[in-house]
Amino acid sequence: MNAPSVSNPPEATRGAKMLYLIRRRPTTSREELVAHWFANHMPAVIQGQKNNAVKGNAFARRYIATLFDADDNGEHPWDGVAQLWWPEPLPKPEFPSGTTPTDSFQERAEPYLPWATTEYIVMDGSENLSVEPLTLNAPYPTTRSGFYKVSYLVKAKEGSDFERFYDHWLTIHVPNVKSVMEAVGGFRYVVSHSIDPLDELYAGMAELYFHDETGWSNYLATIKPDGMGEWVDGNGTLALGGKTEMIGLP
């Protein structure tokens, strides 16, 4: 089956979408990691962005974190991913964050590095993702649920031509996925491409939102190959489901 294609790919979001893949330390429980992430780390990140804005420094305008469910084997290859939207890509630090912990969250998470990406919003669907600030506590961080989200961490085959890969992804694969999302009731679809793919674990991330897990099941039953396999390492690519996002800066 030939997938639909477009001559004009989706436009990139301005700035850089910085991603931080989070995995807990072996001695830390999933619940403990999430508790310290929400209560002790997110408020500090939020305040840091406010401080930067007051000082006239660059700051992230949005900040959310997705919590991943366990995979089919009951494991968490990653516990979640933090996403911050900056005016420019942040450079890789000399040492990963948390190498010397600065809060209780970093004591429980493995050290992590920033992952700079370019974002493409293919299907917005923001009307289905409301953000309600807390009223009995500080407004943020808060949470939202009521959806089923699948995050694809896409690993490229060794030696991939990334120019051809990304062109195919945006002009062939994106229309294919979008058409299926629309057919099965998916409501949001976002693609993020690594700015420096040779320096990253993954070539990019795709985020697919459905109203419930049935939409995801219907998607899997409907989607057809479109040639992405030429570049994608199927064994190294992960599809991680989730039902909760933590909102730091909406």
Query: Is pLDDT at 5 greater than 70 in this prediction?
Result: no
- The 3-state secondary structure of 202-220 reads CCEEEEEEECCHHHHHHHH
- Percent of the chain exceeding pLDDT 90 equals 96
Within-domain flag for 2: no
Sign of CA dihedral 139, 114, 210, 167: positive
Amino acid identity of residue 10, one-letter, is P
Mean model confidence pLDDT for the chain: 96
Question: Mean per-residue pLDDT for 216-236?
Answer: 98
The pLDDT value given to residue 8: 80
Query: Is pLDDT at 242 greater than 90 in this prediction?
Result: yes
DSSP state, 156? B
Task: Look at the block and give the residue holding tokens 């120019």.
Answer: 163
Within-domain flag for 1: no
Domain coverage including residue 178: 16-249
Q: Which residues of 54-85 are buried (b: 16+ CB within 10 A; e: fewer)?
A: eeeeebbeebbbbbbeeeeeeebebbbbbbbb
The pLDDT value given to residue 9: 87
Within-domain flag for 86: yes
Within-domain flag for 8: no
pLDDT digits (tens, 9 = 90+) for 107-154: 999 999 999 999 999 999 999 999 999 999 999 999 999 999 999 999
The pLDDT value given to residue 185: 98
Are 16 and 90 in contact, with CB atoms under 8 Å apart?
yes
CA–CA separation, 175 and 161 (whole Å)? 21
Within-domain flag for 7: no
Within-domain flag for 43: yes
Q: Which two tokens stand for residue 181?
A: 């999302």
Query: Is pLDDT at 6 greater than 70 in this prediction?
Result: no
Query: Is pLDDT at 77 greater than 60 in this prediction?
Result: yes
The pLDDT value given to residue 1: 41
The pLDDT value given to residue 70: 97
pLDDT digits (tens, 9 = 90+) for 145-204: 999 999 999 999 999 999 999 999 999 999 999 999 999 999 999 999 999 999 999 999
Task: Find, among 131, 138, 149, the residue nearest to 206 by Cα.
Answer: 149
Structural domain count of the chain? 1
Within-domain flag for 223: yes
Within-domain flag for 10: no
The pLDDT value given to residue 7: 54
Q: What is the CATH number of the domain that holds 75?
A: 3.30.70.100
